[in-house]
Structure 1
Amino acid sequence: MNKAKSIFIVLFLILINLSLLHVATLSWHSPLGAGWVGVFVLALPNFYLFVWMFMGRRARTSRNLHLLMATNLMGIALVLTDPGMEADPWPLVIGNLIFFGSIAYVFWYSHLGERNNALLNEGEKLAAFDLKTLDGDVFSSEQFKGSAWLLIFYRGNWCPLCMTQIREVAGRYIDLDRLGVKVALISPQPEVKTQELAKRFNVPMTFFVDAEFKASKKLNIVGESGVPFGLKWFGHGEDTVLPTVLLINQHGRIVYSDQTSNYRVRPEPDQFLEVARQKLRGAEG
């Protein structure tokens, strides 16, 4: 199923981009009929959604993207009421592909499955696992003890919402530091990709590589075939990690856990900052 998702997202992005290009080309030669206008109305908001995510404005969207769904309905209505449908069926074909592709993206592709991982519940001790530092050293999760840590398991540099989430945390680093919270950013992506990412930030966050998915497997958060198809040719693997945010106290006990079931829905920094204010100082081992 995840393999199908990795192929779907690439094909859907190609579809909306080619559709916009084709509509733009047609509009240069003659006025657009209702069907092609409908294709434009369908493709443009979907295109903008991905542009907006890559612009890094926010690390989250609404779960069901109601505004996008409303414009999808407007677009498909124009396509279906096109009086020239019999002479030119392509708007109907392309319009339906975009319409149902958008629905699939929102309600199928974005959904990570129901996550109820007992290992990550609040109050649990963090399971033991090993990570790799950017210096090539082995770092045991036992070494987290003695300080409070915010652990962010992110999918990779290719994920725009992950990158925005990291920038948000970097922007609140002073607030976290005042509360005695250190930040660990963990990804199973190749070490060279994590090194590239670490160079972008001047705040003292610690980047780790989850080599061979040792930590992800221990915590049961491996996202099999979660990397979009084709990115392995750009130095990425096929598997990734399910986006997860944990806040642990100085004893290694989880005091906050976000196991999002939708990759577009991420916690606001204020959520774990408030937990840190309330729970860390009085947390017991």
Structure 2
Amino acid sequence: MLKSIFIVAYLTIATVVSISSIQHIISGNQLYSYLGVLFTSAPIALFVMRIMILKDRARTSNNLNIVLLLAVFGVGLTLFNGVLKGDDIEPLYLATGMTALFLLYDHWYSKLDRSSSKLVVGEELPPFELRTTDGEAVTSESLSSGAKIFVFYRGNWCPLCVAQVKEMVAGYAGIKEAGATVAFISPQPQKYSRSLAKKFGVDGIEFYQDEDNKAAKALGIFSAYGTPMGMQAMGYDSDTVMPTVIITDGEGKVLWTHETDNYRVRPEPETYIEVLKEHGIAPV
């Protein structure tokens, strides 16, 4: 619950502080101190805004070190001006607070607890049930007629997830040639999955709904309150799934998994083909 509230509050605060800092800079009020504050608030706000609008990045670095360096520089700038030039202490408080919020985002919010996972490489995939975009029930066993790449994603509200779908669709010719098909699975309402299927669906790529996160719970990749607060107004449930990729063979045995412990880190597309080659499914 705390994480779903935190991300909305943090991005709102970062945006408000950035706008306020720009106003101070324009007015010439403690110019360099508020420039320092801007370095601690604007980068994360602009970063999130960019990926939300463009939806073209399926992954980021693990710790967003550039954003952290800018924040540290910003704190130093406000400290320098506050101590040596006698500026008000308020900008330093703001810069320090924004940096602390970023560290919480980077080292707490972004991290995922994978201790509940039931996925074991070399063993059969635990059974689960899904629904097609037409509402028909299908079982995981019925999907195991050949090598399969199961991609569990949080929903259309997640720009990294949409970028991951785009990326895999763009590279699907290579995946298909390697002997596998792809199943995108999300707990989101059917209308959103149908929208993605209509936009990105190609032969060999299927979209499914994990109703009430039953599959996520069966696999141990369920994320309680993983949806940002406010998305419920658009029909999304408060609970979601942790981004996960599973590759199985034609008999439903798990060949490989990617269970990221950071929601911003996703596997490169080439990785899937390498896994298929390693297991003799794709030609070397």
TM bucket (normalised to shorter chain) is over 0.9
Q: Which amino acid aligns with 1:66?
A: N
Structure-2 separation of matches of 1:144 and 1:31: 63
1:259 equivalent to 2:263? Answer no
> How far does the alpha carbon of each residue in 1:39-89 deviate from its partner, in whole angstroms, 9 at most, with x for none?
111122212321343323331111122222111110111122233897644
Structure 1 residue 20: Cα displacement: 1.7
Superposed CA deviations along residues 170-204 of structure 1, whole A, max 9, x for unmatched, are 01110111122111000111112212222221423
Which among 5, 11, 15 is matched to residue 3 of structure 2?
Answer: 5
TM normalised by structure 2 equals 0.92
- Give the C-alpha shift of residue 256 in structure 1: 1.2
How do 1:85-164 and structure 2 match up within 5 A?
Answer: 88-115=88-115, 117=117, 119-164=118-163
Rounded Cα–Cα distance in structure 2 between residues aligned with 1:280 and 1:209: 30
SS in 1 for 2:256: strand
**Code of the aligned partner of 1:254:** V
Asked whether the equivalents of residues 260 and 266 of structure 2 are also in contact (C-alpha less than 8 Å), the reply is yes
Aligned residue pair count: 279
After superposition, what is the alpha-carbon deviation per residue over 1:261-284, rounded to whole angstroms, capped at 9, x for unaligned?
1101111111111111221439xx
Kept after mapping to 1: 8 A contact 2:32/2:77? yes
Equivalent position of 1:44 in the other structure: 42
In structure 2, what is the equivalent of residue 174 of structure 1?
Answer: 173
Cα distance between partner residues in 2 of 1:145 and 1:124: 14
1:74 aligned partner: 73
Greater Cα shift, 20-29 or 182-191? 20-29
**What SS does the corresponding residue of 1:182 show, helix, strand or coil?**
strand
Show the counterpart of 1:242: 242
Q: Larger deviation: 80-89 or 155-164?
A: 80-89
Query: 1:13, 1:238 → 2: CA distance?
Result: 19
How far 1:22 sits from its partner (Å)?
1.2
Partner of 1:221: 221
**What is the TM-score when the length of structure 1 is the normalising length?**
0.92
Structure 1 stretches lacking a partner, 5+ long:
none
Distance 1:121 1:202 in 2: 29
1:6 alignment partner AA: S
Range with bigger deviation, 53-62 or 95-104 = 53-62
Do the aligned residues in 1 keep the contact of 2:114 with 2:259 (CA within 8 Å)? no
Question: Does the aligned pair in 2 maintain the 1:155–1:188 contact within 8 Å?
Answer: yes
What do residues 22-49 of structure 1 show as CA deviations (whole Å, max 9, x unaligned)? 1222233225433211111112221232
**CA 1:88–1:199: 2 relative to 1, 3 Å:** farther
Distance 1:256 1:115 in 2: 17
Q: Contact 1:129–1:214 at 8 Å: present in 2 too?
A: yes
Moved more, 4-13 or 44-53: 44-53
1:23 to 7, 13, 21: 21
Once residues 281 and 112 of structure 1 are traced to their aligned partners in structure 2, the CA distance between those partners, rounded to angstroms, is 31
Per-residue deviation, residues 231-284 of structure 1 (Å, max 9, x unmatched): 1012111000011000111111111100111101111111111111221439xx
Distance 1:125 1:48 in 2: 43
Determine the C-alpha separation between the residues in 2 that align with 1:199 and 1:281: 29
Tell whether the 8 Å contact from 1:115 to 1:261 is kept in structure 2 after alignment.
Answer: no
Letter in 2 for 1:9: I
CA distance in 2, matches of 1:22, 1:225: 31
Q: What letter is aligned with 1:278?
A: E
Distance across 1 between alignment mates of 2:255 and 2:228: 32
Contact map agreement 2:56 2:160 (CA 8 A) in 1? no
Give the Cα separation in 2 of the matches to 1:274 and 1:115: 27
**Aligned-pair RMSD on alpha carbons?**
1.9
